[in-house]
Amino acid sequence: MELTVAVGSRPEVALEEELRTAALADRLGYRELWVGEGWVWDSFALATAIGVATERIAMTVGPLPVHVRDPATIARAAASTAALIGRPVGVALGTSSARVVERMHGRSRRRPVTTLAESARTVRAFLLEGQADLDGEVLSAHYRLRLDPPGGPLTVAAFGERAIAVAAEHADRMVLDLVSPELAREYRGRLERHAGRTGRPLPRLAAWIPAAVDPDPEAHAQIMQSLVGYLAVAGYDEMFAAAGFREAVEMAHAGAGHEDLLAALPSEAAATVGLVGDADAINQRLDAYAAALDELVLVPATAGDPAGERTLTALAELR
């Protein structure tokens, strides 16, 4: 199982911290950096800044919400970043949430799976061939890149069964978020079943996981804060409930405030859906994840551990 690193998804982390984490991952020899689409930074702008500040590390941008960015815009941005930093750039796509698509961007989130499938098919054509010609049910794209194709892989974020089928049909890689090893194994089986019907090679399976080696209270609190925001999000709510945190999920759906949810979520939640603990505990968790995943995407805690240096260094040495 390969370890990679993610930045850009947490609003409380400053730009300088994101750049330091990226530079550290590059220096420690991590092969790939994921640049998430969060509430603060435009992901392609952040990826370009990181690319200028690093030397070797490849990048995947996203997951990008397919109702917000059309395929030609995604492809042009990825090609621009790849040209500016001089290395391949991949793209990850997802349906995101109503909170992002409808409330933040004012877009309709209708027909999410059809939109995801048509976007994946079209963006894949741009990544491989530099052009696409599609009139779909939801999306349309007739465009040839003026720059070289970005050259990176296509990843699809999936939780639901139909989204997994989209990943199996179009993606080089499928990515999950905040899953336990047990749930990761379940999704591996689902992906294998769908891929067996397509005749395509099985996509790699990756998962974003919060990570903190020997966390101090600040690091643990940062991870817990990040988990609270997922309790009422469709798909994640089921995962948290299945992991034993149903009371907190029900409170979130009832409209409880952030601090009340934080108090209701047991502290062991960080280790249940994360890579959190001492070296022995981390090794055991890595072995458990390796039984299901091809890639573990580390989202390092930076509170109390600037740039996530303690965590990323320890994990680079462990694996």
Which tokens sit at 256? 């409880």
What would the mean pLDDT of 302-309 be, rounded to a whole number?
A: 94
Sort strands 204-213 and 275-277 into parallel, antiparallel or unpaired: parallel
Q: Do the domain assignments include residue 243?
A: no
Q: Determine the Cα–Cα distance for residues 192 and 256; give it in Å rounded to an integer.
A: 38
Q: Do the domain assignments include residue 279?
A: yes
| H-run or E-run covering 29 | none
Q: Do the domain assignments include residue 297?
A: yes
Query: Given a cut of 90, is residue 316 above it in pLDDT?
Result: yes
pLDDT at 267 (0 to 100)? 86
- HSE-CB at 178 with a 13 A cutoff on CA atoms is 21
R_g of the chain computed on alpha carbons: 19
Q: Determine the Cα–Cα distance for residues 153 and 91; give it in Å rounded to an integer.
A: 7
Domain residues for the domain of 168 are 2-214+272-318
pLDDT at 238 (0 to 100)? 81
Lowest-confidence segment of 6-10, 13-17, 83-87, 238-242 by average pLDDT: 238-242
Look at the chain and count its residues: 319
Count of domains observed in the chain: 1
Contacts of 21 (CB under 8 A, 6+ apart): 5, 7, 300, 302, 307, 308, 312
Q: For residue 66, count CB atoms less than 10 angstroms from its CB and return exposed for 0-12, middle for 13-18, buried for 19 or more.
A: buried
Q: Do the domain assignments include residue 69?
A: yes
Q: Determine the Cα–Cα distance for residues 203 and 48; give it in Å rounded to an integer.
A: 27
Kindly report the average pLDDT of the chain as a whole number: 93
- The amino acid present at 294, given as its one-letter code, is D
Query: Given a cut of 90, is residue 239 above it in pLDDT?
Result: no
Q: Do the domain assignments include residue 145?
A: yes
pLDDT at 84 (0 to 100)? 97
Q: Highest mean pLDDT: which of 94-103, 215-224, 235-244, 265-274?
A: 215-224
pLDDT at 159 (0 to 100)? 87
Contact of 273 with 260, CB cutoff 8 Å: no
Query: Given a cut of 90, is residue 235 above it in pLDDT?
Result: no
Lowest-confidence segment of 100-104, 197-201, 280-284, 301-305 by average pLDDT: 100-104
Closest by CA to 293, choosing from 187, 166, 197, is 187
Q: Determine the Cα–Cα distance for residues 240 and 70; give it in Å rounded to an integer.
A: 31
What would the mean pLDDT of 176-193 be, rounded to a whole number?
A: 93
Would you place residue 157 in the very low, low, confident or very high pLDDT band (cuts 50, 70, 90)? very high
Q: Determine the Cα–Cα distance for residues 117 and 136; give it in Å rounded to an integer.
A: 10
What would the mean pLDDT of 205-222 be, rounded to a whole number?
A: 94
Look up the CATH number of the domain holding residue 191.
Answer: 3.20.20.30
**Cis before 63? omega within 30:** yes
Q: Do the domain assignments include residue 252?
A: no
Q: Determine the Cα–Cα distance for residues 115 and 181; give it in Å rounded to an integer.
A: 29
Q: Do the domain assignments include residue 267?
A: no
Q: Give strand pairing partners of 187.
A: none
Contact of 150 with 78, CB cutoff 8 Å: yes
Q: What is the pLDDT of residues 7-44, one digit of tens each?
A: 988 887 888 999 999 999 999 999 999 999 888 889 99
Q: Determine the Cα–Cα distance for residues 69 and 82; give it in Å rounded to an integer.
A: 18
Query: Given a cut of 90, is residue 91 above it in pLDDT?
Result: yes
Q: Do the domain assignments include residue 266?
A: no
Q: Determine the Cα–Cα distance for residues 309 and 107; give it in Å rounded to an integer.
A: 39
Sort strands 131-135 and 140-144 into parallel, antiparallel or unpaired: antiparallel
Q: What is the pLDDT of residues 99-141, one digit of tens each?
A: 888 788 788 889 999 999 999 999 999 999 999 998 999 999 9
Neighbours of 18 (CB within 10 A): 25
Would you place residue 72 in the very low, low, confident or very high pLDDT band (cuts 50, 70, 90)? very high
